[in-house]
A and B are shown apart, each in its own frame.
Chain A
Amino acid sequence: MTETSLKPLAWAERAAWTAAVPANAGALWMVFGYAPVEQVMGEAQKIFYYHVPSAVTAYCLVFLAFLFSALFLWRERAIWDVLAHASAEVGWVFLTVVLLTGPIWGRSAWGRWWVWEPRLTTALILWLMYTAYVLLRLFTRRDARSARVAAVLAVVAFFNVPLVHKAVEWWGSVVHPEKVSLEPPMRLTFLASLAAVLLLGTAFTLARVRVGLLEERRLARMEES
């Protein structure tokens, strides 16, 4: 792996940032300048435009972390581990964003910082599982064994996601289907911000992969000397 050039990756990363920056600038303009103010919640509702896409991005990354972890367990090539670690870590960052913006919105809309409603509770449990992953990787050496341990954790965590969904849904005894109907300008803004955040997630993940690979190389160099 030390022989492969990082140039294509660096190029992909640069492309992702080049797309992500104007996309987010445009999306933010739409959020603040174009999207109408919602009647019941006021401007705070606009948190939705980055809160939900962050959750979507996080879910995508969590799935990728599972995929790459499973691939690593199957064929122990370090690249899968680097990809798994990057996906899980960036996914965790976006989960953190969800958990921080959710309560701010909640405080504004419900008067309380936290309500044990299904979506937020699921996000919290997911966040706990992936914080465990991040901590594990922080505290362990960069070797094959630790990578395997992390991979098993990522697989188990992902298998747990549907069970968490179900459990949290029933826990709240009364299931409130949150029907959201968006007026066209809002829907447009949401699509824009969704695309923007997904691009941002992609850029961050590619960056994290590149850092991971650089660190692998540095480790290999240090071990040789």
Chain B
Amino acid sequence: MSGFLRVAWEVFRKDFREELRRKENIASSFFFAFLSLVLFSFSLDPSLVDLPRTGGGLLWLIVLFAGSLFMGNIFRKETENGTLQGLLLCPVDRGAIFLGKYLVNLLFLLLLEILLWLFAYLLLDIRPGGRLLDLAVVWVAVSVGYAALGTLFAALIVQVRGGQVIYPILLFPVLIPLFMAAVSLTRRVVSGHGVWDSPWLRLTVLFDILFFTASLVLFDFAVEE
């Protein structure tokens, strides 16, 4: 077990460092998110739209798009260098590789959400209704599930022709229940209610458990040559 976690940690550490070194994936995704925020601001009529209340849905949409931009590329380094096969040939549990990559994606998503909400507050006055902790819970709960499927599908498209383009097409429909939960929970937070008793939170947790496990198991099949 400790060997498994150690490998996962190694994969995470190496990948994290590589992403920071290359910057292109992180930078483009963050900038895209900010750009989307600005564009959405232009597209809405503030006199008609109650932004503090409906803004949550908007922000999750941005997380969806920017998140998929980043996560879709998580195996790019290996495919470009041709090192994916090498990585897979290592006598390690492939689940550990999945976990390592997954943690990089999870970290990115959480960072994205924090920054996005910060800028949404600055630009559009979208506030977490005084319940920042509840909002953080939503971030974590949603990101855990999103990162799982995002990582799995990133592995799936590695050798698919035009994989980058088809990645969101494959991923987004499956994420719809999670997305609905994210938006609903955020609305509750913004309107001042707690999230702990919401059935949506239970759905999110169920989604997370189901798809984290499924992704861990299916990852093996996804990367098989």
A151 and B222 CA atoms in complex are apart in Å by 9
Q: Which residue of B lies closest to A133 (CB)?
A: B170
Which of B23-31, B104-112, B129-137, B175-183 lines the interface with chain A?
B175-183
- Main SS of the interface on chain B? helix
Judged by a CB distance under 8 angstroms, whether A160 is at the interface is yes
Contact indicator B174/A148 (Cβ below 8 Å): no
Q: Contacts A125-B173, A136-B170, A167-B181 given; 12 further ones with Cβ under 8 A?
A: A128-B176, A132-B166, A132-B169, A132-B173, A135-B166, A145-B224, A145-B225, A155-B214, A159-B210, A159-B211, A166-B203, A168-B180
Assess whether A153 is interfacial by the CB under 8 Å rule: yes
Within 8 Å of chain A (Cβ to Cβ): is B162? yes
Measured CA separation A62–B97 after assembly (Å): 31
Return the contact of A152 from the options B156, B162, B177 (Cβ within 8 A).
B156
Measured as residues with beta carbon below 8 angstroms from the partner, the interface class of chain A is: 20 to 34
What is the interface of chain A, defined by CB distance below 8 A to chain B? Answer: 73, 125, 128-129, 131-132, 135-136, 139-141, 145-146, 148-149, 151-153, 155-157, 159-160, 163-164, 166-168, 170-171
A147 to B: closest C-beta gap in Å: 10
Q: How far is the CB of A31 from chain B (nearest CB, A)?
A: 33
Contact A148 B160 (CB under 8 A): no
Q: How many Å lie between the Cα of A101 and that of B87 in the bound state?
A: 50
A156 in contact with B218 given A135-B166, A163-B206, A163-B207 (CB within 8 Å) = yes
Residues of chain A contacted by B162 (CB below 8 angstroms): 139
Instruction: Quote the shortest CB–CB distance from A207 to chain B (angstroms).
Output: 27
| Interface check B159, CB cutoff 8 A | yes
Chain A residues near B218 (CB-CB < 8 A): 73, 152, 155-156
Do B160 and A146 touch across chains, with their CB atoms under 8 A apart? yes
B203 touches A132 (CB 8 A): no
Total number of B residues with any Cβ neighbor in A under 8 Å: 32
- Does B147 sit within 8 A of A, measured CB to CB? no
B191 at the A/B interface (Cβ < 8 Å)?
no
Q: Is the CB of A149 within 8 A of B210?
A: no
- Contacting residues, chain B, for A151 (C-beta < 8 A): 221
| Shortest Cβ distance from A156 into B: residue | B174
Question: B164 in the interface, Cβ–Cβ < 8 Å?
Answer: no
User: Which residues of chain B are near A128, meaning CB under 8 Å?
Assistant: 172-173, 176
Which of B156, B161, B173, B180 makes the CB contact (< 8 A) with A171? B180
